[in-house]
Every structure is written in C-alpha cells, then in structure tokens.
Amino acid sequence: MKIKYFSDTDTALVEFSDTEVHETREINENIYIDLDKAGGLVSMAIEHAKEQGNLSELSYLQIDQGLSNKRVERTG
C-alpha cells in the first residue's frame, strides 16, 4: 500500500494495488474509489484532504490474529 499527498491540489491518494483501473466511483463529493475489473479496490482519492483528515500524523497499526497483546505500530 502506498499513500501519496499532492499539496498543490490538497489530494491524498491511497493505492492498495497496481491492478488496472476499470471503474471509478464517487462516494461523495470529496472521495472517489477506483475498482478493478473484478470489483476489487485499487485506490482511493480524497480531495480537500486536510479538511477530511489529520494529515500531520499518519500511523499504521497491525493486529495479528491470536496475538492480541502483540502489535506493530508505526507513526511517521
């Protein structure tokens, strides 16, 4: 997964795969998702990203099944 932020347009792009985009759907006026031919999520674009979420902090939390007391957290 990749997260890109374009400051000139205040757009965040979250890429889940590099599969070819078959269809783009508008979720609301600021959020769009790209789907592959099978309907799988390829990416999500968030316009006016600073208003939509806190971009000054990004964290990743992985919780492994069966290891509820062990977790990996990364903040950048």
The 3-class secondary structure across the chain, one letter per residue, is CEEEEECCCCEEEEECCCCCCCEEEEEECCEEEEECCCCCEEEEEEECHHHHCCCCCCEEEEECCCCCCCEEEEEC
pLDDT value at residue 51: 83
Distance of CA 6 to the CA centre of its chain: 13
pLDDT value at residue 56: 72
Every domain of the chain and the residues it spans: 2-75
Query: What pLDDT band is residue 60 in, cutting at 50, 70 and 90?
Result: confident
In percent, the amount of the chain with pLDDT more than 90 equals: 59
pLDDT value at residue 53: 76
Question: Please, what is the average pLDDT of the chain?
Answer: 85
